[in-house]
Structure 1
Amino acid sequence: MRKLFIPFIVIVVIGIFTSLFVVEEGNRGIVLRFGKVLRDAKDVPRVYEPGLHFKLPLIDSVKLLDARIQTMNNQADRFVTKETKDLIVDSFLKWRITDFSRYYLATGDGNRANAERILNSKLSDRLRSEIGQRDIRDIVTDSRGKLMQDVRDALNKGTSDTPVPVDPANTELPTDNKLPLANANSMAELGIEVIDVRIKQINLPAEVSGAIYQRMRAEREAVARRHRSQGQEQAEKNRALADYLVTKTLAEAEREARMTRGAGDATAARLFADAFSQNPDFYAFIRSLRAYETSFSGGNDIMVIRPDSEFFRYMQSPVPAPRK
């Protein structure tokens, strides 16, 4: 009896552990029984909130779905504006699951890759439609915020008022009890809510941007040449004006210098004349000394002159002869 009790306890413990499952915070759980979704009394797939739950061991399996906000990077694609101009737009989208049972059915066992594939297709379609209604200026300016809001609202609400049932393709669930109707063009069809749509980068195609850059470069070079020629013209004018001012200033300075020099010479001559007029003999003596200094300063000067000349009178006698 005791030998049977121990295996029984082991089986019970294993059964308890295999019948318990935990749904962590940020996730939701869906129980599959024999590969089919476990439903409640209203025949709606049962969604388990975070916490500890029970299931039938070896019969039920649990599928966990991420309830957090997801980010999907959309591959850069070419779009045509209202002006029939091509743009390369790189964008991303944030989304989360709001209806886990619908999401599980619509994406095929809650496959995220299927959900993002559908999201990517619908996002590209909406961006193509919205960008096609706007010109480049509206897209790259503040109106871009309105564009992203319109895309988000169109994804969440859809573009048609005709509701259709969810297609249960790729699932093994019976189709006689379907989920509530949803707009075929909205994300509610997938049980998804689009939180935000953002445009990361807007570029021109390489062939277009190259031509635009060449044209911009040519325009800038033309402007540079025009400014350079204007600068050279102004430089020549400034040089000519500077030369004129220099010549004028030098001429006026020379005129002032000569006038000042002439006035000084006249004043000096007048002072000399006034001084020497008071004693003519002293003036004659000074003039003779200066003449001697000038004549004999060379050392090898030869003069042919009579010794009794008036030139040597101060050498013969320091006292000048009386004037007749």
Structure 2
Amino acid sequence: MHSKSFSALILIALVAMVGSNSLFIVDETERAIKLKFGEIVDADIPPGLHFKVPVLHTIRKFDSRVMTLDSRPQRFLTLEKKAVVVDSFVKWRIANVQEYYQATSGDELVAARLLAPRVDEGLRNQFGERTMYEVVSGERDELMSELNERLNVITKAELGIELLDIRVKRIDLPPEVSHAVYERMNTERQREAREHRSQGKELAEGIRADADRQKQVLLAEAFRESERIKGEGDATAAATYAKAYQQDPEFYSFLRSLEAYRNTFNSKNDIMVLQPDSEFFNYMKDSSKQK
């Protein structure tokens, strides 16, 4: 009884092992092929649970999602023989599993190695047919679309790969050309800066000259106005003095004499040489004039 149970367990284990090796699952993100001693017997197995014969059949699975090939920057010549350095990338996926396996053995690195030179050659041809302006801005979208259509036919037939998109990340000038362009741009900017400075100096001189002219005009007008006001004041003062003098000429003469005496004899060190009968001493000699 014991030996029969043990044999049954062994049989069940063998059946389970054979069953597990006979079934396989293909995910929705995968493509698979079935090989019989290295020969393809089923080229495109759909997603789901499938059966195979252990040892006799081998299953190879590949990623069916969109892949990215980031190419190294390459140097191309435009129509006018100007060199540019182009950095691009490619979006691709498996279109024909059988062709893909036969061309690359299912290795993504091999697929990238085979795809990269074809893309570079296509870009070189497209850039060689266009000018610098067209590849930089004018016709870049048209260039990429045309290249994608041409290469897609080739890669599907030769590699079983569908090219979804080819894009240029950036276009640069070679280092030696970039330096020359930079120097030319620097020289041009310096020339423009000198022109702006010269125009600024010319404008500043004009503003200063106009300001100086306005200053002189304002000073002249102010001086003229001040002289006019002074003249009016002097005239008013003279008229006031004259009017006051006309009211009492004798008193006015006496007051002016006293002021003259005070100003003259204010300092003891002053010396005056006058004749005794000078009019300066009239109010000192004749007391009647002081009344």
TM-score (norm 2): 0.88
Shift of 1:274: 1.3
272, 297, 300: which is aligned to 2:241?
272
3-state SS, counterpart of residue 84 of structure 2: strand
- After superposing the two structures, state which structure 1 stretch, 114-123 or 86-95, moved more: 114-123
Q: CA deviation at 1:15?
A: 1.4
| Distance in 2 of aligned mates of 1:316 and 1:144 | 121
Tell whether the 8 Å contact from 1:285 to 1:314 is kept in structure 2 after alignment.
Answer: no
Look up the match of 1:131: 127
What residue in structure 2 maps to residue 34 of structure 1?
A: 37
Q: Secondary structure at the match of 1:140?
A: helix
How far off is 1:299 after superposition? 6.5
Alignment check: 8 A CA contact 1:80 1:128 kept? yes
Long gaps (5+) in structure 1: 40-44, 158-184
| 1:10 Cα deviation from its structure 2 partner | 0.9
Q: TM-score, normalised by structure 1?
A: 0.79
CA apart distance, 1:309 = 7.6
Partner of 1:95: 92
Residue aligned with 1:64, SS: strand
Q: Give the 3-state SS of the residue equivalent to 2:251 in structure 1.
A: helix
1:297–1:10 CA distance, 2 compared to 1 (3 A)? farther
Q: Using the TM superposition, name which of 95-104 and 70-79 deviates more.
A: 95-104
Q: How many residues align?
A: 287
- The separation in 2 between residues aligned to 1:10 and 1:72, in whole angstroms, is 46
**1:111 maps to which residue?**
107
Structure 2, unaligned runs of 5 or more: none
Question: For 1:174-323, what aligned pairs fall within 5 Å after superposition?
Answer: 185-298=154-267, 311=281, 313=283, 320-321=289-290
1:86 to 83, 96, 103: 83
Confirm or deny: 8 A CA contact 1:97 1:193 kept in the other structure.
yes
Q: Among residues 1, 11, 20, which one is paired with 2:14 in the alignment?
A: 11
Please state which structure has a larger fraction of its residues in helix: 2
What CA RMSD, in Å, does the superposition of the two structures yield over aligned residues?
2.6
Residue 307 of structure 1 deviates from its aligned partner by 12
State the alpha-carbon separation in 2 of the partners of residues 83 and 90 from structure 1.
20
How many Å apart are 1:273 and its aligned residue? 1.0
- CA separation of 1:57/1:273 partners in 2, compared to 1, >3 Å: closer, same or farther? same
**Cα distance change of structure 1 residues 301 and 98 upon mapping to structure 2, 3 Å threshold:** same
